[in-house]
Amino acid sequence: MITSRDLSPYFPSGLMAAMSEGRTFHFYHWDAVAGDRLTVAPDARPVVHWIWSGAVTTQSARITALLGHMEDVVLLVSAEDDFNPAVRIAPTRWIPESRGWIAHFDVPELSAGTTYHYVIERKGRVIWQHAGTFRTFPKGASHLRIAMGSCAATGSNHPVFSTIMQLQPDFFLHLGDLHYEDIAVNEVQLFKDAYHAVLTAPRQAELYRSTPIAYIWDDHDYGPNNSDGSSPSRMAALKSYRAAVPHYPLVSDEEDGSIQQAFSFGRVRIIMTDGRSMRSARSVADGPERTQLGARQLAWLKRELSAAARDYALIVWANTVPWIGEEPNYDRWSGFQYERRAIAGFLEREGIHNVVMVSGDAHMVAIDDGTNNRYGPSGEPLFPILHAAALDRRGSVKGGPYSHGAFPGPGQFGLLEVEDDGGSTIRVTLKGMNHWGEVLVEHSFERAVFPQ
Ligand SMILES: [Fe+2]
Q: Could you tell me if 234 and 328 lie in one domain? A: yes
Count structural domains, the chain: 3
**Cis ω before 451 (30° cut-off from 0):** yes
- Compute the average pLDDT of residues 268-281: 98
CA distance 79 to 428: 30
Ligand 1 centroid distance, CA of 449 (Å): 35
* Backbone torsions φ then ψ of 376, nearest 5 degrees: -85, 170
Last residue of a domain, one of 134, 168, 195: 134
Q: Could you tell me if 88 and 211 lie in one domain? A: no
| pTM, to two decimals | 0.91
Which tens digit of pLDDT belongs to each residue from 232-261?
Answer: 999 999 999 999 999 999 998 888 899 999
Q: Quick one: pLDDT at residue 451? A: 61
Q: Could you tell me if 123 and 220 lie in one domain? A: no
Ligand 1 centroid distance, CA of 13 (Å): 53
- The band of 17, judged by pLDDT with boundaries at 50, 70 and 90, is very low
Q: Could you tell me if 130 and 162 lie in one domain? A: no
Assign residue 435 the CATH number of its domain.
3.60.21.70
Query: At CA 240, angle to CA 135 and CA 259, rounded to 5?
Result: 65
Last residue of a domain, one of 110, 134, 158: 134
Ligand 1 centroid distance, CA of 102 (Å): 27
Closest C-alpha among 411, 349, 409 to residue 380: 349
- Compute the average pLDDT of residues 313-340: 97
CA distance 142 to 15: 57
Q: Quick one: pLDDT at residue 43? A: 65
- The band of 19, judged by pLDDT with boundaries at 50, 70 and 90, is very low
Q: Pick 45 or 414 by higher pLDDT.
A: 414
Ligand 1 centroid distance, CA of 361 (Å): 4
Last residue of a domain, one of 82, 104, 134: 134
Q: Could you tell me if 21 and 119 lie in one domain? A: no
- Average pLDDT for the chain: 92
Ligand 1 centroid distance, CA of 122 (Å): 38
Ligand 1 centroid distance, CA of 150 (Å): 7
For residue 28, pLDDT over 90 is answered with no
Q: Quick one: pLDDT at residue 2? A: 47
Ligand 1 centroid distance, CA of 36 (Å): 54
Ligand 1 centroid distance, CA of 215 (Å): 14
Q: Quick one: pLDDT at residue 42? A: 55
Ligand 1 centroid distance, CA of 367 (Å): 17
What's the domain range around 398? 140-448
| Helix, strand, coil content of the chain in percent (nearest 5) | 20, 30, 50
Ligand 1 centroid distance, CA of 410 (Å): 11
For residue 1, pLDDT over 60 is answered with no
Q: Which residues fall within 8 angstroms of residue 379, CB to CB, at 6 or more apart?
A: none
- Compute the average pLDDT of residues 404-416: 98
Q: Cα dist. 262→9, 56, 228, 256, 326 in Å?
A: 49, 12, 22, 18, 29
Q: Could you tell me if 105 and 248 lie in one domain? A: no
For residue 188, pLDDT over 70 is answered with yes
Ligand 1 centroid distance, CA of 64 (Å): 25
DSSP output for 17-46? HH--TT-----EEE-TTT--EEE-------
Which tens digit of pLDDT belongs to each residue from 127-146?
Answer: 999 999 999 999 999 999 99
DSSP 152: B
Q: Could you tell me if 73 and 145 lie in one domain? A: no
Ligand 1 centroid distance, CA of 11 (Å): 50
Ligand 1 centroid distance, CA of 222 (Å): 12
Assign residue 52 the CATH number of its domain.
2.60.40.10
For residue 181, pLDDT over 80 is answered with yes
Q: Could you tell me if 210 and 65 lie in one domain? A: no
Q: Could you tell me if 154 and 125 lie in one domain? A: no
Ligand 1 centroid distance, CA of 164 (Å): 18
Q: Could you tell me if 194 and 278 lie in one domain? A: yes
Q: Could you tell me if 178 and 106 lie in one domain? A: no
- Report the percent of the chain where pLDDT is more than 70: 90
Q: Could you tell me if 190 and 262 lie in one domain? A: yes
